[in-house]
Amino acid sequence: MDQTNDPPRRKFLISRKIDKAFLDLHKVYIFNASIFREMFSRPFEFREVLNQFYEVGVRSLPLITLTGFIIGVVFTNQSRPSLATFGATSWLPSLISIAIVRALAPLVTSIITAARVGSNIGAELGSMRVTEQIDAMEVSAINPFKYLVVTRVLATTLMVPLLMLYTVLVGLLGSYMNVSANEQTSFITFMVKVFDAISFLDLFSSIIKSVVFGYTIGMISCYKGYYSSKGTEGVGKAANSSVVTAIILVFLEELISLQIIGALRNM
């Protein structure tokens, strides 16, 4: 048997897993850079963007309405005993509005969007990848990245803030109905207390947060679906990991934004 004195070839820079993690990170970076590059270059996919606005925005409304309203009712009901201990139930509208506007609405809207839309995008693009539909677009000289990815990311980025504002409205409506039934507070009084409690920074920061959450959900779902492999098993994994990864990232971003907004408030 021939033997050489050559040192064994190193296949990996550090180890297979660490190398892969860095490569994946680089792939995500390239994916994000491509989204921004394609978003602002012609031709614009207006029709598909409108389709996706409908899919992400309008079709999420029933679920958002239900969950937003119930959260408003339940959170008000659960907060009442604590405030009643100090005879401060009149503070309910202020407490609820701050909780809904600052945290509940952006988070609930994002979680629902990740679950409903993110899984849908992950499965749809994953299925298109494994059945070569994405390749079919490519060989027809159609840019599948722009048509499938950019339109969906744009839709989630712009629709989640709007859905968040809608969640605020239905959440406050649920809260008002509960307060009205128990404390006989008028709608005007309720709304005055609400607007006294929340500031421009509260609303603005929630809108910005929702834009970031929406982008994260769209980007992660598209990334998982666009690069899915291994047949139908891969499609299932893409759908599942779209939701899980997006929700984890949304909570991490919430934690970071809490620090940033807290610092802004203290300035």
Partner 1 sequence: MRKERFVIDYQDKVISIRGLYKAFDDFEVLKGVDLDLYRGENLVVLGKSGTGKSVLIKIISGLLRPDAGSVNVLGKDVDKINRKELNALRLKVGFSFQNSALYDSMTVQENLEFPLKRHDPSLTQKQVNSFINIVLEAVGLGQTADQMPSELSGGQRKRIGIARTLILKPDIMLYDEPTAGLDPITSQEINNLINAVQQRFNTSSIIITHDLTCARETGDRLVMLLDGQFQRQGTFDEVFSTDDERVQAFYNYNFID
Distance (Å) of CA 167 to CA 36, 55, 71, 247:
28, 17, 9, 18
Tokens 């929340």, residue located:
198
On whether the CB atoms of residues 223 and 239 are closer than 8 A, the answer is no
How many CB atoms sit inside 10 A of residue 144's CB? 18
Q: How far is the CB of 124 from partner 1 (least distance, A)?
A: 8
Give the integer Cα–Cα distance in Å for 2 and 59. 68
- Quickly list H helices, 131-230: 133-139, 144, 151-183, 187-197, 200-226
**Between 127 and 228, CB nearer to partner 1:** 127
CA-based end-to-end distance of the chain: 75
On whether the CB atoms of residues 30 and 149 are closer than 8 A, the answer is no
**Between 31 and 75, CB nearer to partner 1:** 31
On whether the CB atoms of residues 110 and 217 are closer than 8 A, the answer is yes
Q: How far is the CB of 127 from partner 1 (least distance, A)?
A: 8
Residues that bind partner 1 (CB under 8 A): 127-128, 131-133, 135-136, 138-142
**Between 42 and 267, CB nearer to partner 1:** 42
Q: How far is the CB of 235 from partner 1 (least distance, A)?
A: 13
Q: How far is the CB of 2 from partner 1 (least distance, A)?
A: 20
**Between 135 and 233, CB nearer to partner 1:** 135
**Between 26 and 37, CB nearer to partner 1:** 37
On whether the CB atoms of residues 160 and 46 are closer than 8 A, the answer is no
- What values do phi and psi take at 185, rounded to 5? -85, 140
Q: How far is the CB of 218 from partner 1 (least distance, A)?
A: 19
Q: How far is the CB of 140 from partner 1 (least distance, A)?
A: 4
Distance (Å) of CA 240 to CA 33, 114, 123, 169:
24, 10, 8, 30
**Between 21 and 142, CB nearer to partner 1:** 142
